[in-house]
Structure 1
């Protein structure tokens, strides 16, 4: 039996990283001039790269040194697709996890979606926070012309107005969904396309689903079990059942 785990921001909450849509979440906080839904777009990166990069730096990059928690370590040997970009699953030892929305520690050349490009380490440690705007624009090779294709850099993050490509591992993710005999969704609000894609496949296959979240979203599926608890509580429960 192959169980596929699909995780969201709730799994990283115990590592001190705010969830996306909670009261302290990223999407409840905008920039001074734009809503988060406006900020997290390719259009914003193209039209106002300074505003985009400052927002991205403050909302995501400042958490880059946080460490994994018990849930990440428990998932280290599991088939895993995560919506999180924090890279904590890799830090915990999972060498095959799919980070379907990107990674805060990676960048690519700015490119047309679907093109095959190199992935490099992000230059965050070189940022001068005393001169944040100019430092970010310089490090990401953005001139007064704005981002230039195949010249400028772009954070490896899937934005609201972008689509899944193999750069983010979508082909491998879909294969794991089709190969799974069970799916466990942990700490996700089911508000993104990847969870809907997985649910559609689970329904077609008629496989069991578990939903783990303190306030689980109820979904349309014939064989679903809900666990109104945190990922840590679920893991502790699983460990006790193994005794």
Structure 2
């Protein structure tokens, strides 16, 4: 059952044209078999050296060992490419269909599963990028290139790059190596690639924010939650473990912490929002 305070806040948002927003992280894709960067599968071996994802997924390493970073990226891409959306993704799609412009999805995931589930581009903000695109590693332009055809992904493991793949992974303009269109660990959020200003604006228009499956270790999600609270909005964390947001919300009047996996919660939430939308429609 959805807590009464949340139900009342949904009704308030619908009547007052406040956004009901969702800030989601890697936990929402766990049922689809996608490991997190910070988990035990986030390591990468090269020769005798083991890298943490936080080390290999950086511009610093790309600048000196671009092919090693691209091998790591292609391995990650091989996992996300064949993954399928789970119940949580489909519930977010159905919730968007109910709320329309009252809905915003702010996702830290680069796995394309929101797209596969049917969430709209207009209301989905991918603040860590998108595995379906690449761009020039030398930043000769800000153009995004679709992921190139002709690269082996199925059962890729830790394969070496072939000569053909090396050629496909070159910028169309300057012939430098392409890089994945993702936010690396030593980079900063911006509007051009990661919609920083857009999501900060949305946070100030949000009356109810659901934070799902994220540890909250990056700055922009933290600021989003604080902005919602500062504007007297309600923030609800759904997670199976403590996070940055648990500490932020524990003493807040408008903060709620729910220890649950995402799918059962979103399924119940979708039913409640549907009831509220039908009731509001019948009254109008």
Which TM bucket (shorter chain)?
Answer: 0.7 to 0.9
1:87 aligns with 2:112: yes
Tell me the residue number matched to 1:232: 263
- Give the alignment's TM-score, normalised by structure 1: 0.85
TM-score (normalizing by structure 2): 0.74
> Would you say how many aligned residue pairs link Structure 1 and Structure 2?
233
In structure 2, which of residues 182, 205, 210 is the aligned counterpart of residue 157 of structure 1? 182
Q: How does 1:92-103 map to 2 (within 5 A)?
A: 92-95=117-120, 96=122, 97-103=124-130
1:152, distance to aligned residue in structure 2 (A): 3.2
2:231 maps to which residue? Answer: 205
1:126, distance to aligned residue in structure 2 (A): 2.6
Q: Post-superposition shift, 1:206?
A: 2.7
Q: Residue 57 of structure 1 aligns with which residue?
A: 74
Q: Which residue of 2 aligns with 1:219?
A: 247
Is 1:137 aligned to 2:166, yes or no?
yes
What secondary structure is seen at the aligned counterpart in 2 of 1:126?
Answer: coil
The CA RMSD measured in Å over matched residues stands at: 2.4
- The residue aligned with 2:52 is 35
Inter-partner Cα distance in structure 1 for 2:240 and 2:109: 18
Q: Deviations over 1:11-44 (max 9, x none)?
A: 1111111133344x42xx2323233221010011
Give the Å deviation of 1:138.
Answer: 2.2
| 1:130-185 deviation digits (Å, cap 9, x = unpaired) | 6525444322228xxxxx96743211011011111221222221111111111110
Distance 1:201 1:92 in 2: 29
Look up the match of 1:145. none
Q: Distance in 2 between matches of 1:116 and 1:53?
A: 19
Indicate the structure with greater helix content. 2
**What's the offset of the Cα at 1:86?**
0.4
1:31·1:55 contact (CA, 8 Å) conserved in 2?
no
Partner of 2:86: 69
Structure 1: runs of 5 or more not aligned: 143-147
- Residues 140 and 65 of structure 1: CA distance in aligned 2, closer, same or farther (over 3 Å): same
Contact 2:212–2:239, Cα closer than 8 Å, also in 1:
yes
Counterpart of 1:181 in 2: which secondary structure?
strand
Whole-angstrom distance in 2 between the partners of 1:74 and 1:127: 32
**How far is 1:68 from its partner?**
0.9
Quickly say closer, same or farther: Cα 1:83–1:118, change in 2 above 3 A. Answer: same
Q: 1:150 to 1:86 in 2, by over 3 A?
A: same
**Runs of at least 5 residues in structure 2 that lack an aligned partner in the other structure:** 1-12, 14-18, 97-102, 276-284
